[in-house]
């Protein structure tokens, strides 16, 4: 009886927290209209999530959708169409207790830039970005509610707590709701800094400064394999071929490109393509000179 009461009061508090944080995010313009959604795992199994077509600014604790472990509606309004996003991240990241998804302007803008590395959407700009978000993965564009987005997130194998959906927005997991909200805010502010400094050759944190943060604060960065690390330093033929394929298919989401491999490919305009190649060559020479 006591255990049941504790669980209920815990759920009551979590329902209030979702509405309180949702309102704060909405009022600061971090997700407009009825965009964005929040979910929290419940101790007794299942989870709470914000309903479909609900503005995060005007949530009602009693009408939040309560889902069981299989994602079926138990009570409340119909859940957001973006439940598969949340499911995929919970499935692959055992430590995730809460997930925040926003359509926040600067993060969405960042997701559309041609030079973004899908394994590190932002460079190591500040200590707090690394401490709260680790590294951010970029997944390609999917229509909202497309179940294929879940496969893309599962493909990251739980290595990332923060994921950017191209032309859409961030999805961030935390071990508490507060941690997930604060990490999402940190990602948005870092994306804003990146846009402010783009093209100005800013000084990012050095590899030594990053490893110092990893050591002192236990920052969790995705462990890339030896092969993946080599590719970051020097593109292999296979990597270049893969980039060419991706360029052909999607136009924008590729990492390395070699001008000699293939001439300009639709749908990227010649001038845009040359700009991308130039930025990548600058990035390569920087990596090599360190
Ligand atoms: Zn969305």
CB 240 within 8 A of CB 257: yes
Q: Are 104 and 170 in contact (CB under 8 A)?
A: yes
**Report for 179-188, 235-244, 265-274: range of highest mean pLDDT:** 179-188
Distance 203 CA to ligand 1 centre (A): 32
Tens of pLDDT, residues 154-187 = 988 889 999 999 999 999 999 999 999 999 999 9
**280 CA to middle of ligand 1, Å?**
30
d(C-alpha 234, C-alpha 284), whole Å = 8
Average pLDDT, the chain: 82
Tokens of 125: 């700009």
Comparing 256 with 244, the larger pLDDT belongs to 244
Nearest CA-CA partner of 184 in 127, 136, 116, 151: 136
Ligand 1 centre distance from Cα of residue 37 (Å): 7
CA-to-CA distance for 112 and 76, rounded, in angstroms? 35
Residue of 128, 141, 204, 264 with catalytic role: 128
Rounded to whole angstroms, the maximal C-alpha distance in the chain is: 72
CATH superfamily of 2-197: Class II aldolase/adducin N-terminal domain (3.40.225.10)
Identify the band that residue 203 occupies on the pLDDT scale cut at 50, 70 and 90: very high
- Structure confidence by residue, pLDDT tens digits, 51-64: 999 999 999 999 99
If you measure from the C-alpha of residue 14 to the centroid of ligand 1, how many angstroms do you get, rounded to a whole number? 22
Domain map of the chain by residue range?
A: 2-197, 224-289
- pLDDT at residue 193, as a whole number: 97
CA of 106 to the centre of ligand 1 (A): 14
Active site annotation includes 142: no
| Centroid of ligand 1 to alpha carbon of 44 (angstroms) | 27
- Among 143-152, 224-233, 249-258, the range with the most confident prediction by mean pLDDT is 143-152
d(CA 188, CA 104): 7
pTM: 0.77
Q: Identify the residue with better confidence: 288 or 5.
A: 5
């Amino acid at each position: 009886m006591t255990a049941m009461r504790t669980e209920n009061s815990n759920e009551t508090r979590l329902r209030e927290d979702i509405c309180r944080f949702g309102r704060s995010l909405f009022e600061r313009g971090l997700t407009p209209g009825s965009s964005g959604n929040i979910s929290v795992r419940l101790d007794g199994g299942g989870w709470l999530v914000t309903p479909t077509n609900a503005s995060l600014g005007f949530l009602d604790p009693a009408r939040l959708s309560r889902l069981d472990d299989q994602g079926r509606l138990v009570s409340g309004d119909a859940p957001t169409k973006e439940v598969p996003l949340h499911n995929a991240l919970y499935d692959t990241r055992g430590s995730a207790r809460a997930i925040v998804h926003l359509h926040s302007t600067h993060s969405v803008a960042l997701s559309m830039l041609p030079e973004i590395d899908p394994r590190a959407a932002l460079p190591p700009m500040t200590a707090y970005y690394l401490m709260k978000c680790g590294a951010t993965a970029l997944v390609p564009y999917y229509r909202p509610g497309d179940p294929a987005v879940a496969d893309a997130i599962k493909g990251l194998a739980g290595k990332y707590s923060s994921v950017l959906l191209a032309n859409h927005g961030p999805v961030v997991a935390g071990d508490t709701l507060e941690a997930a909200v604060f990490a999402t805010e940190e990602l948005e502010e870092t994306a804003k800094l990146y846009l402010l400094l783009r093209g100005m050759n800013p000084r990012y944190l050095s590899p030594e400064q990053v490893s110092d943060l990893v050591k002192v604060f236990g920052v969790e960065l995705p462990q890339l394999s030896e092969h993946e690390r080599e590719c970051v330093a020097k593109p292999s033929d296979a990597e270049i071929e893969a980039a060419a394929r991706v360029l052909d298919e999607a136009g924008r989401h590729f990492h390395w490109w070699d001008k000699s491999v293939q001439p300009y490919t639709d749908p990227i305009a010649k001038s845009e393509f040359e700009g991308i190649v130039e930025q990548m060559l600058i990035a390569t020479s920087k990596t090599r000179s360190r």
